[in-house]
Each structure stands twice: as C-alpha cells, then as structure tokens.
Structure 1
Amino acid sequence: MATGKLTALKVKALKEPGRHSDGNGLVLYVKESGTKTWVLRIQVDGKRRDFGLGSLADVSLAEAREKADGLRKQYRSGIDPVAAKRAVKQVEAGVPTFRAAAAQAHTEHKGGWKNVKHKAQWISSLEAYAYPAIGDLPVDEIEGPAIRDLLADIWLSKPETARRVRQRIGAVLDWAYAKGYRKAEAPMRSVTKGLPRQPKKDNHHAALAYEEAPALMALLAKSDSVGRRALRFLILTAARSGEVRGATWSEIDLDQKLWTVPGDRMKAGKTHIVPLQPAAITILEQMREAFGDAPDQPLFPGKANKPLSDMTLTKVLRDGFSNDITVHGFRSTFRDWAAEQTDVAGDVVEAALAHAVQNKVEAAYRRTNYLEKRRALMDSWAAYLIV
C-alpha cells in the first residue's frame, strides 16, 4: 500500500479545523469541536461520491487507508459500495434482495406449473436479464425506472423474451408485496408506458393491436349480419369462438346480466360465468327479436338454425377487414389492453379469460371467480371499444 501525505503522529497532532488530505481522495476532517473523521472522495461517472470511513477514535490511519483501498477496488470492478452496504443492512433487517425473492417465489410457485421447460426458463431469464441490474437490490427499493432501463436493452431486439422478463419481474415484486416486503405492488403498467411499441407478434393466433379494436367494432356495427353480431359479442366478452358459436338461450340470464357457459363446453372443463355489459345485452336482444329465445335456440344461428360453423367468424374478418389477424387473437387483444390500460390485477384478467388455475391453493382461493371485479373490468372494456 502506497504511503500517503499524513503520518500517525501528524494525524494525532492535528488541531486545525478543516480538510487534511492523505492523497488519492482520502481525507481527515477535523471539526471545530476537535472530532476527527475519515472520508473517501471518489469520482464515479463524473460525479463526486463521499464515503464515510468512521472517526479517528475508531479507525486508525492505517485502517482508513486499507478501507479506502478496498472501496477503490470495488468501484473499479463496477460495484457501488454504498448500494452494497445498504443492501446488506436491508437483508439484515429482513428485506430480501430481488435475487433472493425470485428464488423464494420460484420455489413456491413452480409446483403449479406443468411445463418443465417453463420452470427452468423462469429463473434463467431473470438471471440473464434482471439480476445484473437489480439482483442485489432490496425488493423494497426497486422502482419503475430501474426495470424500464433493463428491459429497454432487449425490448425491441428480443420482444417475446422481454415481455416474459417483464412479467416475471412483476410476479417477484408482487410476491414481495404479498409477503410484506414492499409497500406497493409492481409498477409494471408505468414501466410498459415508458417503452416503445414492439413489432407485431408473429404467431398462429395473430392479434389485433388493442388501439385498433374500437375502429374494428365501429366497422362491424355497420351491418347487422349474424356473423358480425357474433364477432362483436365475442370481442366484448373476450370469449373463445366455440363458446360463442355453441351458446344457447338456456345459458343466458338477462335479468342478472349473466352468461353461464357449462363446463362441458369450456376448455378447462369448469363452468364459466360471464358478466354481460349493456352493449352485449343489446346484441342479444336483437338476436332474440329475430330468432326467438327458446332454451335450445342458438344465440347466433347459422343455416337451418344450427350453430354457426367454425369458419364463419374467420370469414367475417377476411371479408373486408383483415387476413392478418385471427378470431382467437382477440383474447390477446383484450389481455394486452387490460395490462397496459388498467390497474386490474392479473388474477382478475385471467379469470375473465377463463384460464385454468394450476396451483391448487390458488384455485381454492378463487372459488368466487372475481365476478364483481370482472363485471367492472368488462364494463371498462366495452366503454373502450365503443366510442
């Protein structure tokens, strides 16, 4: 270790208040009261950082030099000792780092995932893209700007990966909130608003961007064909094509404004109750006036009063609208809108889409299926679509 300007004897004899430099940023401050304190001053990214090393009563000149040397090495290696020290204190106080919280959340939730590949990718994606930036930060100090900045590097170049990393970061922070480590849920909506629009997804369920959905609904409303009414009803309810095409009046309760789809017609095999907004009810009243409401009467009948074929709604899209989007993709349109334009919890959105809950504990908790919360969500969706 290089010798500085000060000596042990000189340090002991100093009485004059002010800064007394040992060189290379190490300074002994002498106060008017005679108290002497060590401080290391370092330039980091063009900004001055002062790091307290303790008082002379507790830290000798040799010890101050050793501490200063260690801190300089940390800065040169890219470690911010101030943040590192704060993180240690937080962990000691019981608040885990993001890395530790992610490991715990993963352990608790992976039992509910059937896909083995998903279990492995869940952590590996965070290790690759989140840990370098926020892995060692306490979960209660992670805010939107830090998340936005780490996602910005891959948001356009690796859009699908970026979306998954965003979702998984949000899951970890929401887990931390539920455990009492954070005072607020994950700020994912504001994070998304701070990122550019991603290129259109290229998959077998190509979806319409939610910003374009109101214009499509207006175009569909210009004609009263059964196919167009059925497609509007599907978009309003975020339902699957088969659920709409196979629906009969025995499933509708206009007084309660509910559509109850029996389990034998649902993908997950469980009854799904759909709250109906005024716009959806108007469509049903028009269909009732045209075709009646006998219990076995299809809501949207095709030829010979049979349910519409599986290609009817697709043909509606292709005839004058778009060959690039799919009917099933409107469920993604709804999900994207809910994620980016509302603060509604993900569990409520998933319930609106009738997605099966894999975790048995969560499934038991969701027995009410968030009906009233979903009713408010679907009312907002209808208000967004119909302008």
Structure 2
Amino acid sequence: MARTLNKLSAITAKNAGAGKYSDGGGLWLVKREDGGGQWVLRVTIHGRRREMGLGSFSEVSLKEAREAADRWRAVTRSNVDPIKERERQRREAAKKLHILKDVAADAFESRKAELKGDGKAGRWFTPLELHVLPKLGKLPVGEIDQTDIRDTLAPIWHTKADTAKKALNRLSIVMRHAAALGLEVDIQATEKARALLGKQRHKITNIPAMPWKEVPTFYASLSDPTITHLALKLLMLTGVRSAPLRFIREEQIEGDVWIIPGSIQKGRRDRTPDFRVPLTPEALDVIDAARQHARGGFLFPNIRKGVISDATMSRLMERAKLDYRPHGFRSSLRDWISEATDTPHDVAETTLGHVVGGAVERAYRRTDFLEQRRKVLERWAKHVTGQGAQVLQLVRAEA
C-alpha cells in the first residue's frame, strides 16, 4: 500500500504545538515547547532505521523539507546510507576550500564552540586577519611554505612578539585543519618558519601592579558611587580578572557567593568549570550600590551599550597619574597573601582562580577551598579599607 504523503500544510505546521507530526514518507516535524522545531527524515537502510536532520523549522520551509526528503529517499532506494552520503558530499565540498582565507574561516567556525562567546570578541581570529591573511589569504593553502610564513611574520616577529607568536600558532591550527579536510599541505611549515625566524628578542613586561601597602589609599579615593569607581572597588576586593568583573550579572550572585561561569573565564570554555568567589560584607555593599546602575542584567553597563570596558578603568588610573593598571591588583593581592599571611599555597593560588596541581591531583581534589578563601578575602578587605591587617594563619586544608 502506498504511503500517504504531504499530510501537513504550512499553516498546520506553524500553529502546531509541541510534539511530533508526520508529513508522510518518513518526514516528521518535531516541535518544541518554545515554538521552534526540527525537520527529521526517517529511513530504513540495511535493516537499520536512521533519523536524518533536514534543518530547523525556522529556516527550512515545508516545501524545502519535502524536496530534501525526496532527494534523500531516492538515495536510500539506491541502497546508500543518506547520512553517510551527505557527510561524503560535505567532505568533497570542503576539499574545494583551498584558499587560505577560506580554510582559515572554516577552521574558525569549527573552533567557535570552545571559544568564549563563540569567538565574537575576535581575539582568536584577529592575529590572522591583521597579520597573515592580507599577504597570504589569497594563496592556495597547499602552496604555502615556511619561507612565505617567515616573510609574512618577520616584520613583527621581534617588535610585536606576542602577537606574532599567536598568529603563527593560529596559522598552525589552520594548516592542520586543511590537512583534516583532505588537502595536501605541509603541516610542518609553521614549525620550519619558527626555526627560520629565530628566537624573539622582545622582552615580555608584566602589567604594572600597585604595591599592596598603597592599595588602601587608592581604594579610599574611589569615593563616588559611579560605575567606574564601584567596578574598581569590586575588582580590588575579589581579585578576579577584568572580564568576569565587567560582565557580572545579577543572577550570578547567590547569597554571599559569586559564581563566575566557565564560559567567561580565562582558558578553553569547554574545559573551564564555574568558579565560586566568596563575597565579603564590603564586596556585597559594593554590589548593592552597583544595582542602581544595572541595565540589561549587567551590574556595570556601559553608557551606550554593553558593559564597562577595561580601558575605562585604566583611564581612571591614568588620570590619577598612576602607572599601575587594573589587572595589576591581582598581583597586589597575591603579594599581600605571600608577605602578610601564612596562607597555604593551594588556597592562595585558588583565590586568584589559578589551576593548582596536575590533572590527576585535581580529579581527586573535592574542595575549592571556599571557606578558607573567604577568610583570606575578609582579611584583605580590612586591609584595603584601611582597617589594618595582622598576619593571617590558616590551617592547611587537605585536598
């Protein structure tokens, strides 16, 4: 008996609630509670049922879904697995991405899921975009060799050492991506170029950090209830990095604990767990004052859109004729812990959100030293606010 086709109409599909709806011939519409949905084709090949996604309901019309279903049903009738065939076709199409700028863009798309904010900040792709693609972007990736790479990066190899190193590392990832696509490339070209470029002469300088004994005076100068003053205060009190501070949201605060999502921390977003920051009474007061400025869920919004920038806090320190920068307060806190307390190393490093120990050791550790860190930051808050601080002794916690 012939199967009934085209059971659905565009209006019926649009107005359907959550559930599964058959259009016939193995084509199904799977709707979600939020109104979205997915087209799915069910076929049987080699005695096994396969479900093949044909696109989202919002992007693929009923007509397009039926046309796609017809194509893949025909493939199935040829005794070919449609899912494997589609993957084969995609690989064949990928092999045509032979220009470096196209391969680089494809590599970037593949890595977005593990980058913070899907790489929207541009930090991953920018070194390639600014320093590699203008010269090599239109070359076939298989023709690029170590001399091309050396000549491209040589002008910045010593003067912008960190940027040049990032550009070379990103290019290495792109070359390996090209090889994975089946393109004939020299995946050792970047390492050969590194050897040709030689050792970098650029001397890395640390971000200027305010000596911890001077921190109370500067903290006292932040007397205005402005976004910039409040942001700097919370930065100093918690010892966190600038990005989590600037992107702090109301829902991240749970009582006297601030939970920083792994997606906005330093490191790979797919490997970085959430980080709990104990909030002292002083920090909670700052957060409470910041709530009057909140917009769009952010406690430290920018005047126009988004959130306060790191440059905004830096400029305030520049106007105060200071050589120090906001990120340096992490060093101020760490130096104070070392010189004015007897805090165990693991607790001190975890206070700054640093990874402590190897992978095996971390796997067996069942604590993030939250309460020990709370004591450290409470003492630090007293120092920062000018209430004095005696040497703090903590019992070393067992991992």
Per the normalisation by structure 2, the TM-score is: 0.43
> What TM-score comes out, normalization by structure 1 length?
0.44
Flag the structure with larger Rg: 1
